[in-house]
Amino acid sequence: MESVGDGRGDGMRSGRNRIGFLFAVGLLASVMLASTPSPCQASIPDILDDPTLQLLFPAAELRDLVGYNGPRTYLFIGQNSYELRPTGGFISRVGLIRFVDGSPEIVWMKYTYELDNRYKEWVIAHPEDADPQTPPDVYYLFGTSPIWYMRDRNWWPDFKVTAQELLSIFAQEARAYNSLVPEADRIPMSEPYTGVDGVIAVDLEVGSSILGVTGAVTLDAPGKAYDGAILNAQNFGPFCQWWENSKGASEAAGFFNALADAMREKLDTAPSDKQGALAMAFVRLLSQHHMIMYSKTARNQSALERLNWAGRSPSLPGDFLHVSDANIGGRINPEEPWMGNKVNMYVRRSVGYGVTLRYDNTSRHAADVSWQNLGTTGYFDYIDDPNDPEPNYSILENAYYRGWNRLFTPASAVLDEGGSQYEGVLEDKYDAKMARRYFASWVGLNGLYPDETQTAVYQYALKYPLLSVPNGYRYRLQVQKQAGTDAEGFRLNFYSPYLFPIGAWGASGLSRSSHNVRFNGDLEYDKVIEVSLVPGVMSRPAPVIRYGRVTRFSGLMSPYHIKPVVYVDVYRRVGRRYVRERTVGVRVSTYTSTTRKYLLPYRPLGRGYYHVRTRFPARYGSKVFYSPWKTFRVI
């Protein structure tokens, strides 16, 4: 068997090889809507050998993913994030990508509708052999097909669940497709069409990010309308979508082939100082779920999940929040038949989340989700223009928004009241495949038009929201970002009236007070925010105390969790160690509220440095809580 070695041989021969895999990523985005296969001869980049990356993701798994241990074939899913769906966008392209020794090749690529339409023909012709699944009930409101096609199967935010569904429907549609098309157009795979090793999904941000590093490209296509067109990070997505929807299939295919050639040349000639930025762009795309991977090999899938490149729903104990939108009910106007639109290009979403702890070990939750349509008005006049009977892309992207919104929570969540201010909560279900409960409602059932805003509010309760840790409690919130979305606003207000937050981490910008933890920022990546809580705290004493004076300390404690006696341990520094000086017991016999101030009198302490902390024995059981150490000096 040939040894792979450390991977540095081919990886350092040329600039082209160093960015081979990144070029493949850019190429996948470039040909996402193309109609012909486009090979790419390049190899894995040097990021394989980055020591930091190898700590998280052993090179063995990464090499196996890209075909160093044998060819790897992936189902490629091109998602249009301007028509948002749970895993990133409407599935506009489907194909097969093969990796051999780190070199990717697109071996087959089609519009998803081509497979779906052939599958529909096959189902009609073979009703005795067909057993098509039906789509979720929400699709039927707008008269959709009774067959759940591949283009709509990315219904679960957990990409592992969606990927397995896509592989299943691909096997069915591939069988139908190959039985109805000429041999030259068939998928290069034999029955049962399960010989793929995983799924790779990308959205339009991939191509934009690559161009953001390399710079703009100019298309070279003499005699074509797009000859000399300049594409950059800002106009890549809109330009690609305009050509898809405004031109014929053959014209669009020519455009995307020219784009792929231009990007290939740009990457081939990229200077060496761009390679680090390309590697970082690649990692960012995976971390922000603009590119998601699934592997049928358990070891490789586990490695992807460790890096959070698999688009999985986090499985840690604690609270969980995920907002998922599906643009499935868009029309240009009420008089036109139903069709999808690309209005998510202009829809901005923000999420506010409030959590209030209760003394009976439950918590109250309120999530408000707001949408604002920033599209441009005035495009609807085109619909009635007899000289322009076909809808163009400007109409599609500036139409009103209608989406199905689902709020995913822990399985134990119990809905109290909530929903959109217009429609209300229409579904309260447990999703067994994701092991999550979700609440759902329509956004813009009557149309969220340009310059309009709408808000949905979900209120629910959780039992046992806290995790028990050796010195107190911990609240953990896992927030999963929806794939295909940009950084959206996220606000958190955590309120604990009887336990005291002594630490909070997991996101920059967290602020903490005696009873609250707040966050106000952007959700660019998945977040895990944790708050450490104790039933009592001591305020910081004066840093310097005069000798001979009585020292007093104030504190707060929770009557629901501790006994009416607390102990204060005072340690004095002797050399490099601190030894116990004394322990003072303070009895508090009455409680007037959930929190109470108390004073701890001391006999005068000798000169020196001291550590002090408070012990809070649990009201029930033998557990003891400790406040953080405080330091002061007596002079």
User: Among the listed ranges 105-109, 319-323, 409-413, 574-578, which one has the minimum average pLDDT value?
Assistant: 105-109
User: Among the listed ranges 52-66, 172-186, 384-398, which one has the minimum average pLDDT value?
Assistant: 384-398
| Cα of 252 vs its chain's centroid, Å | 31
Does the pLDDT value for residue 507 go beyond 70? yes
User: Among the listed ranges 387-396, 436-445, 585-594, which one has the minimum average pLDDT value?
Assistant: 387-396
What string of DSSP letters covers 176-208? HHHHHS-GGGS-S--TT-----EEEEE-THHHH
pLDDT of residue 550: 62
Q: Which residue has the higher pLDDT, 540 or 523?
A: 523
Q: Tokens 């707060």 map to which residue?
A: 556
Does the pLDDT value for residue 38 go beyond 50? no
- Residue 120 vs residues 82, 155, 410: alpha-carbon distances, Å: 26, 20, 38
Confidence of residue 596 (pLDDT cuts 50, 70, 90): low
Burial of 145 (0-12, 13-18, 19+ CB in 10 A): middle
226-280 per-position pLDDT tens digit: 788 888 888 887 777 766 655 555 566 667 677 777 877 777 677 777 777 777 8
CA distance 305 to 292: 10
534-561 per-position pLDDT tens digit: 888 776 667 777 776 666 666 777 777 7
What's the order of all strands across the beta sheet hosting 488-495? 414-420, 453-463, 362-373, 347-357, 488-495, 516-523, 511-512
Does the pLDDT value for residue 76 go beyond 70? yes
> What domains can you pick out in the chain, each with its CATH number?
8-111+195-306 (no CATH), 319-534 (2.60.40), 536-634 (2.70.50.50)
